[in-house]
Structure 1
Amino acid sequence: MKNFSAHPRHAALVLLVTASSPALAQATNAPLSREVPAVESAEPEAPGDIVVTAQRREQSLLRVPLAISALGGDTLQNKGISNSAALATAVPNLQVSSPYGNTQPNFSLRGISVANEYNSNQASPVGVYIDDVYIAARTSHGMGLFDLDRVEVLRGPQGTLFGRNTTGGAINFITRAPKLSGGSGYVEAGYGSFDTYRAQGAVEATMVEDQLGIRVAANFEKGDGQIRNVAPGGRDANSVDTLQGRVSLRIRPGNGPLDIKIRAYAGRDRGTQAGIHGLTGPDTPGQGFFEVNENSIGESRTDAWGVAANVALELGPQLTLTSITSYDGGKQNLQQAADGSPLDVLDINWRSNFRQFSEEARINYDGDALKLVGGLFYGWDQTITDNRFNIGSALGPGVNGGFFQHYRQSRRSHAAFLQGDYDLTERLVLTLGARYTWDKAKYRDGFAYLFAGNLGGPDLPIAGTVPCAGVPGTCAYDPAARYQVDGSNKALTGRAALSYTFDGGTLVYGSYSRGYRSGAFNGGGYTSSVGITYIDPEKVNAYEVGVKGRFLDNRLTLSAAGFYYDYSNQQVQDTRPGPVSFLVNAPKSEVYGAEVEASFRAFPGFVINASGGYLHADYKELTLQNTDLSGNALPFAPRWTATAGFDWTIFDTGTDAVTFSPTVNYFSRQFFSPFNAIDAVGTGQVNAELQQPAYAKVNASLAWSHGRAQIRAWINNAFDKKVYSYGLDLRGAGFPYNFLVPATPRTYGVTARLSF
C-alpha cells in the first residue's frame, strides 16, 4: 500500500476505472411502494432518471458534473434508512458517528469531518440543508427521515452555490411539497425488536386546483434501550422516543408566475443516552459488548423547530427570481454518564439553546447557450451554552465537585455568488462560479468556575476558571467576571469545470473547487481562558474527474469520480497539561481517492446495486500534545468502503409483487483520534483503543406489495456484528480510561404501509 499511495493521482485514476449504489438503483428499479413520486421537475431524459437541484436548478442526475448520491423517499423507506445517521450505509466515502448516539451526528465525507471536536457550537464541515435552508446547529442534524422527496449528498467542496462550511460537501434533505392536483397520502405502522413501535403518515389536499394545496406529515417512534444495562435498577441505553411533524402550504395565485411554498416543522427526541464503555467494558466479567454497567444512564432531550418561505417568481420564460427566508430554533439537554461505570466519576450535562435566521435571494437565467445562477445570502445563528461537568472526588478523596461553563456565541455571514454554464459547443460545457463570504463571530458572557457539590445537588463556587489566565483553580471566584473574544474572516471560493457529453449520453468532466469552513471559537474551554481563542478557517483545494452514464442498452447505470484535495487548517482539539483544552489548526493534510456507484439490471425483476470508495486521508503536518502526528490518518476515514446488494422481484402479477433486498456494507479500519495508535509521552494514553477494525454488516428486507398496500419485513446488522462507532481519549484529560460508544446491535421488525 505504501508504493501505491506514493502516487496519489495514479491511484485515483486506477480506482476510477477498476472499483465498482443504492443511490443509482432508483434510476433503473421501480420502487416497491406504488406511491406516485411527489417531485415536480424537468422532463427526465430516460425512464427512471432522477432529477436533482444540486446546482440550484433542475437537472437529470446523470447530467450534473458533480459527485452526487441521490436517494429518493421510496428508496430510503425500502432500505430502512429512518434517520440521518444511517445514510452511511448508502453513500460511498460517508461516515456518520457521534458520542451522543443519533444526536448531533458527525458527518465525515471523503475524510473531512469535525475530527475529535465534539462541542455543540462548532459548525459541521459538511453543510446540512433542509429544502435549501442551511441548518447551523449540529444537534438538529440528527433528524428522523420521513415524507421526503429525496436526499442529495454532494461530495467535495460546495463553496459556490451552497456557501460556507462545506469543505467536505453538502447534504440536502428535500421534503415533499403539495403538487396542487388532487389528493394523496399514506399511513405506515411498524413493530420491531426492543419493543419498538413506529408510525408515520402524510395527507395532501388540493383546495383550489393548480393554485392552493396543503400537505401534513408526522413521524413517531418509541422503543426500549438497545444497549442493556447490567447495573441493578439502571435504565438501558440507546432507547428511542421521537415525535415529529411538518406542514407544507403551497400557493400559486391564478396558476400564474408566482409560486409560494411555506413549510413549518417541529420535533423532539427523548431517548436515553448512548451506551458507553469506559471504566467497565466487554472485558469486564458479567458484561457483554452490547451491555453497559452504569448507575446513572442519562436522557438525551432535544427539540427542533422552524419555518421557511420559498417564493419563486417567473419574470419571463428564461428568468426566475427566488427568495428563501427561514427562522429555526432548538435546544439540547443531554445528560451523559461518561465514565461507563456504576461510580460517579464523570457525569456531564450538555445544555445549549439555538436560534438562526437566513435569507437568500437568487436569480436564475436559463438561456439557450448560457445558464446563470446568482444571488445574495445573509445568515445569523446563536448558541447559548450551559454545561456542567460533575467529577467524583474532584477536590480530594470523597470531596465531590466539578466545573460549570456558560457562554453565548453568535455568528453572522454575508455572501454574494454567481455561477454560469456556457455551451462552448453542442457537447462541451464550461462552468465557472465564485462566491465571496464575509463572516463575523462573537463569544460573549463567557464564564466558568470550579465548584463543590454532589451530582444532582446544588453547587458551591470555590474558584474562577474563566476568565482566568493562570493555573486552573488558582483564580478567586468573581460572579461578575466575564470573558469575550471577537473573530472575523473573509474568503473567496469557487468552481471551474469542463464537461463533455458523448453521443450515447455519457458525461465526462474535470473540475477544480475551493471550499471553506469559517473560523471557530473553542467551546471546550472551561478550565482556563487561555484556550479560548478564535482560530483560522479551514480551506480545501479540490481537483476531480468523473464519468457517469448508461451502458449496455441502458441496463447499467454508472457514476465514478476520482479526486485529490490539498486540505489546510482542519480544526482539531488539543488537550494540554492542566488539563486545558485548545482548539488548533492542523496545518496541512492530503486527501485523495475514488468512488464508483453502479446499478445493473441483470434481467427483468433483478437489479444489482454496488458502490465502492477508496480513500487516502493523511495529515502532512500536525503536532498535538507536543507529539508529531505527521503521516497519521484523519479520523473517521476508512481506506475502503463498499456496498453490494440486489433487489429481486421474485414474482410480479401486476397486482401483487414480492421483492427481496439484501445488502452488505463493508468498512475497513478507521481511527477515532488524530493520534491513531500513537500515545503522547507522559499522558497515560492508550490511543490504540480508539479505533474500529474492518467489519461488514448485512441488512435485508422482504416486501409484499398488493396494489397500494405493502408489508415489509426487515433486519439490520443481521449477524449482530460488534462495532464501535466513536471513541474519545479521556486519559489525556486526566481520567483513567478511554470513552468508546458501541453501535447498534441486530434489530428487526415488520412495517405495513398503505398509500392513497
Structure 2
Amino acid sequence: MAGMGYVRAALSLIAASTSSVALAQAEAPKGDDEIVVTAQRREQSLLDVPLAVTALGGDSLAERGITNSAQLGEAVPNLQINSPYGNTQPNFTLRGIGVANEYNSNQASPVGVYLDDVYLAPRTSHGMGLFDLDRVEVLRGPQGTLFGRNTTGGAINFITKRPDLSGSEGYVQLGYGNFGTFTAQGALETTLSEGVAGIRAAVNYAKGDGQIRNTFAGGRDPNSTDTLQGRLSLRLKPSESVNVVLRAYGGRDRGTQAAVHGLGAFRAGLDFFETNENRVGDNNTDAWGFSANIGVDLTDKLTLTSITSYDGGSQNLQQAADGSPLDILDITWQSQYRQFSQELRANYTGSGVTFVGGLFYGYDRNVTDNRFNLPLPPAGGFFQHYRQQRRSYAVFGQADIALTSALSLTLGARYTRDTSKYDDAFAYLFVGAVGAPDFPIASTVPCVGVPGTCAYDPAARYALKDNNNALTGRVALSYTFGSGALLYASYNRGYRAGAVNGGGYTSSSGISYIKPEYVNAFELGFKGRTADRVLTYAISAFYYDYTNQQLQDTRPGPVSFLVNAPKSEVYGLEAETTLRPINGLRVNASFGLLQSKFKELTLQGTDLAGNRLPFAPRLTGQLGADWDVVDVAGGLVAFSPNVVYASSQFFSPFNAVNVAGSAQVNSELAQGANARVNGALSWSNDTITVRAFANNLFNRKTYGYGLDLRGAGFPYNFLVPNAPRTFGISVRADF
C-alpha cells in the first residue's frame, strides 16, 4: 500500500529516540506551564492527549497576525481555508476532507466548528473575528465520538476567555494599517463577588477600504472591511460544586464582496490585485447567540455538565460573479438561520478508568432566498426559495482504561440519528434587469424537465425528507514512556449526514438527497518533550478510507448537482515542533505531507479516478520564530517572522481534465506552489505593547478558490484572489 511509506517514515523517527526526536503538535508556552486543552471534553495536558491536536493561545494568534478564522490555515498543518466569498462562509478542509467545491449555505461543514463547545451549524457564522480568546483547538481526523456531528474531517473549537472570579482586569488595543484600516478591541472584567461572581465584556471593531482596486469609473473596491462584534460572559460559582457560565454574543459584517477574476477580455492591462467590475456587492452577515454552561460536581469523581445554546443569524451576499463591467452573472445569496442545541454530559474519574458520556440534541433551520441574474434574452434569471430543517439526536460515551501504569485503552462509541426536511421550495424563471423587480414567466421548481417548459404556478411547492442513522466511534492504545513521551495508535470512524442540493433551481430533477459520507481513519502518533523542555515535539501518520464525499457538479444550463464520490483514499504525515535553544528564542515549525486521490468517481461521463481531491496540497509547512532581541527603555523588543508554504492544489475534482466536447478549461482552477512571508516587531513592558506587522510581505499573487463556469455555459471561469500585502501598527494597554 502506498500509504505505508508514510507509516514507515513515522516509525523510523519514533525508533530513533523515545525522548528527543520528532516534531510537535502545538507550540510550547513561553513559561514552563502545561498547555491544558479539552480536546476529549475534559481538561488534560496537550501532551497527554492521544489525538492530533493543534492548540493556539490568544497571544500566539496575535504574534502570528491571525485575526480571523479564515487565517488559521497559516498555523495548522494540512488545514486549508477557502471561500468564494472572501472571509465570509469559509470552507475548512482538514487532511483533504472538506466541502470540496460546494458553495451553497445549506451544507454542513465536515470540519465541525464550535464556540465554547457549542456546535455552529451555519457556515456563514464560521467566518468570525478572533478576539479575547483563551485558545483555539484544532482536532485533526474524524471526531465521531465526543464531537460527533458532521465531523468527518475534524473539529475546531474556539474557546473564549471567561471571568476568573478574582480582581479586575482588561485591555484596550487600537491599530491602523494600509487600505485605511482602523481596528479597535478591548475587554473589561470585574469581580462582583470574590470567588462567587464575575463578568467580562469584550468588543472587536475593524473598518478599512477595499484591498483590490476597481478600475471601473465610480466603482467600489472589493474586499473592504467593516466589522463589529461583542461578547458578554457572566460566571457564577455559588458553591464549590457548582460552576455556571452564561455567554451572549452578537456581531455583524458589512464589507464589500470578494474580488473576482472572471471574463478574460476585461482582465487585459489589469494588475493581479485589480478588477474592472460595475457592480461590487456587499457581504452583509449577522450572527448572535446565547449559551449556558452549567457544571455540577456530584462527588469528587463525578461531574454533570449541561450546555444549552440558541443562536441565529443571516447573510445577504450580493456577488457580481463575472468580474467585468457587463451583467453576465449577478447573484444575491440570502439566508436566515436559527439553531438550538442541548448537551448533557457526565465526566467520571475512578480507579484506572476515566469516562465521558452523554446525550446530544441539535436543531437548525435555514430559510434561503437566492436570485440569479443571467444574460438571458431578454434580461432575467432565476429566483429560488426553500426551507431546510435538520435535527440530530445522539448518545455517546468514551472510556480511557488503564491496562497498566503506562498502557491505556480508549473505547468510544456514538449512535446518531439525523433527520432532514427540505420544504416550502419553489423556483421560477423571471424577466427583469439586475436590481429591478422581476416578472415570473415559468416555474422551474417544482418542474421535471427542461427549464422554462412549466407554466408559472405561484402556489406550487416542492418537498423532500431524509433520515440517517450511524454508529461511529474510536479505539486507541496509548503508551507513556518513562520520559513522559506518548505513543498512540488509533482507529476512528467519522460520519456526515446525507444532504440535499441547495443549488437546484433550474429543475426539480437536480434536487435530491444524497448518501451520507464516512471515513475510516487509522492513525499512529508520538508526542512529548525533552527533559530540559528545550524541545516539544509530536508526529502523526494517518490513512483514510473515505466513502461518498459530497461535492458539487456544475453542468451546462447552468445546473448544479450535488453528488457522492464513491471511494477516495487519503494518507499523510504531519509534524510540529517548538524549540527553545536559548533564553529568549522560540522557534516553531510544522509541516504536512498529504496524498489524496479519488479511487472511484465519474462526473459528466468523465472518469476521474486517480485525480487528487480539491483543496489538498501535497505539502504544507510553516517556520516561525519569536525572538526577544533586546531590552530598550524599560521594555522588551521582540521580532516574530513567519514563512508559510503550500504546494500546488486544485479547486475542482476534475483537476486539469476537461469533459470531452465541452468548453471547460479546468487547468485554470488551480493554484501553484507558493510561500508567504509574515512578520512582526514589537516593544512591550508590563502594561504597554506596541506592535508593527506585515502579512504577505512580498505581495505574493495567489488564488484561494475557483469554480468551473465554462462548462456551465459561461465564457469564463470564476477565480477569487487572496489578499495582497497588508501592514500596520497597533498599541495595546493592559490594566
In which range does the TM-score fall when normalised by the shorter chain? Answer: over 0.9
**Is the Cα–Cα contact under 8 Å of residues 29 and 35 in structure 2 kept in the other structure?**
no
Does residue 222 of structure 2 align to residue 237 of structure 1?
Answer: yes
1:357 correspondence with 2:358: no
- Please state if 1:562 is matched with 2:541: yes
Question: Does residue 640 of structure 2 align to residue 661 of structure 1?
Answer: yes
2:48 maps to what in 1? 63
Q: Is the 8 A contact 1:16 1:562 kept in 2?
A: no
In the alignment, structure 1 residue 137 sits paired with structure 2 residue 138: no
Among candidates 595, 598, 611, match of residue 632 of structure 1: 611
1:443 to 422, 431, 441: 422
Q: Structure 1 residue 284: deviation in Å?
A: 3.0
C-alpha distance 59-462 of structure 1, shift in aligned 2 (>3 A): same
Alpha-carbon distance, 1:632 to partner: 0.4
* Residues 97, 725 of structure 1: 8 Å contact kept: yes
Alpha-carbon distance in structure 2 between the residues aligned to 1:16 and 1:120? 42
Q: Residues 369 and 15 (structure 1 numbering): CA distance in 2 closer, same or farther, change over 3 Å?
A: closer
Corresponding letter in the other structure for 2:286: D
Shift of 1:578: 3.6
Matches within 5 A, 1:27-176: 27-30=28-31, 47-176=32-161
> CA 1:295/1:732 → structure 2, altered by over 3 Å: closer, same or farther?
same
Partner of 2:232: 247
1:13 paired residue among 8, 13, 38: 8
Deviation at 1:79, TM superposition (A): 1.1
Residue matched to 1:383:
366
**Structure 2: runs of 5+ lacking an equivalent:** 14-20
Is the CA contact (8 Å cut-off) linking 2:260 and 2:721 kept in structure 1?
Answer: yes
| Higher mean C-alpha deviation, range 327-336 or range 571-580 | 571-580
Aligned mate of 1:327, from 295, 304, 310: 310
**SS where residue 534 of structure 1 aligns?**
coil
How do residues 466-481 of structure 1 correspond to structure 2 at under 5 angstroms? 466-481=445-460
2: distance between equivalents of 1:290 and 1:741?
A: 11
Query: What CA distance in whole angstroms lies between the structure 1 residues aligned with 2:489 and 2:7?
Result: 13
Q: Is the 8 A contact 2:206 2:226 kept in 1?
A: yes
Which digits, 9 at most, give the CA deviation of each residue in 1:435-457, with x for residues without a partner? 00000000001100000000100
Report the Cα distance in structure 2 between the residues aligned to 1:238 and 1:280, rounded to whole angstroms: 20
Equivalent residue of 1:274, what SS? coil
Q: Distance in 1 between matches of 2:678 and 2:556?
A: 45
User: Who is 1:312 aligned against?
Assistant: 295
Alpha carbons of structure 1 residues 400 and 21: separation in structure 2 relative to 1, 3 Å: farther
Deviation at 1:553, TM superposition (A): 2.2
Provide Cα deviations, 1:458-483, integer angstroms capped at 9, x if missing partner. 11101110000011111111000000
Cα contact 2:692–2:729 (8 A) shared by 1? yes
Q: 2:71 is matched by which residue type in structure 1?
A: A
The answer as to whether partners of 2:24 and 2:536 remain within 8 angstroms in 1 is no
What do residues 589-638 of structure 1 show as CA deviations (whole Å, max 9, x unaligned)?
00000100001111111111100000001100001111110000000000
How far apart in 2 are the matches of 1:521 and 1:468? Answer: 17
How far apart are 1:654 and its partner, in Å?
11
Answer yes or no: is 1:464 the counterpart of 2:443.
Answer: yes
CA distance in 1, matches of 2:658, 2:11: 36
Matches within 5 A, 1:207-286: 207-253=192-238, 255-280=239-264, 284-286=267-269
- Contact 2:23 2:539 (C-alpha < 8 Å) held by counterparts: no
- Mapping of 1:315-714 within 5 angstroms? 315-392=298-375, 394=376, 396=377, 399-551=378-530, 553-652=532-631, 655-714=634-693
Matching residue of 1:44: none
CA distance in 2, matches of 1:370, 1:653: 52
Structure 1 residues 15, 737: closer, same or farther in 2, change over 3 A?
A: farther
Q: Is the 8 A contact 1:28 1:601 kept in 2?
A: no
Alpha-carbon distance in structure 2 between the residues aligned to 1:243 and 1:280: 36
User: For residues 218 and 435 of structure 1, do their structure 2 counterparts lie closer, same or farther at Cα, with a shift above 3 Å needed?
Assistant: same
Shift of 1:163: 1.1
Is the Cα–Cα contact under 8 Å of residues 12 and 592 in structure 1 kept in the other structure?
no
Q: Relative to 1, partners in 2 of residues 1:244 and 1:296: Cα closer, same or farther, differing over 3 Å?
A: same
Residue in 2 aligned with 1:186? Answer: 171
Deviations along 1:376-398, one digit per CA (max 9) or x if unpaired, are 00000000000000112x1x2xx
Q: Check 1:548–1:179 CA distance in 2 against 1; reply closer, same or farther (3 A cut).
A: same
CA distance in 2, matches of 1:595, 1:426: 28
Are 1:753 and 2:725 counterparts?
no
User: What is the distance in 2 between the residues matched to 1:86 and 1:589?
Assistant: 27
**SS state at 1:615 partner:** strand
Question: How far did 1:22 drift?
Answer: 9.3
Say which of 725, 735, 741 aligns to 2:714.
735
CA–CA distance in structure 2, aligned partners of residues 169 and 694 of structure 1: 25
Residue in 1 that maps onto 2:26 = 24
Q: Which residue of 1 aligns with 2:189?
A: 204
Superposed CA RMSD: 1.4
Whether the 8 Å CA contact 1:406–1:445 is kept in 2: the answer is yes
Is contact 1:416-1:437 (8 Å) kept?
Answer: yes
CA pair 575-515 structure 1, distance change in 2 beyond 3 A: same
8 Å CA contact 2:383, 2:505 repeated in 1: yes
> Aligned partners of 2:215 and 2:558: how far apart in 1?
32
Deviations 1:491-512 (A, max 9, x none): 0000000001001100000000
Cα distance between partner residues in 1 of 2:553 and 2:22: 38
SS in 1 for 2:131: coil
What is aligned with 1:33?
A: none
Q: Does 2:281 correspond to 1:298?
A: yes
For each residue in 1:354-392, what CA deviation from the matched residue of structure 2 results, as whole angstroms up to 9, or x when unmatched?
000000001000113100000000000000000000112
Question: Matched residues in 2 for 1:744 and 1:677: separation?
Answer: 25
Letter in 2 for 1:64: V
CA distance in 2 between partners of 1:683 and 1:579 (Å): 13
Superimposed CA distance per residue, residues 296-317 of structure 1 (whole angstroms, 9 cap, x where no aligned partner): 0000000000000000000010
One-letter amino acid of the counterpart of residue 565, structure 1: Y
Distance in 2 separating the partners of 1:84 and 1:28? 21
Q: Is the Cα–Cα contact under 8 Å of residues 16 and 594 in structure 1 kept in the other structure? A: no
Deviates most, 700-709 or 344-353: 700-709
The answer to whether the 8 A contact 1:466-1:527 is kept is yes
Give how far 1:552 is off.
5.9
Offset, 1:16: 6.7
Deviation at 1:575, TM superposition (A): 2.8
TM-score, normalised by the number of residues in structure 1: 0.95
Change (3 A) 1:23 1:560: closer
Q: Percent identity?
A: 64
Q: How big is the shift at 1:78?
A: 1.3
Helix, strand or coil at the partner of 2:379:
strand
Number of paired residues? 728
**Structure 1 segments unaligned to the other structure (5+ residues):** 1-5, 31-46
Question: Conserved in 2, the CA contact under 8 Å of 1:465 and 1:473?
Answer: yes
Q: Is the 8 A contact 1:471 1:578 kept in 2?
A: no
What is the CA deviation profile of residues 196-236 of structure 1, one whole-angstrom value per residue up to 9, with x for unaligned ones? 00000000000100101000000000000001101111000
Under a length normalisation based on structure 2, what TM-score does the superposition of the two structures give?
0.98
Which secondary structure state, in structure 2, belongs to the residue aligned with residue 24 of structure 1?
Answer: coil
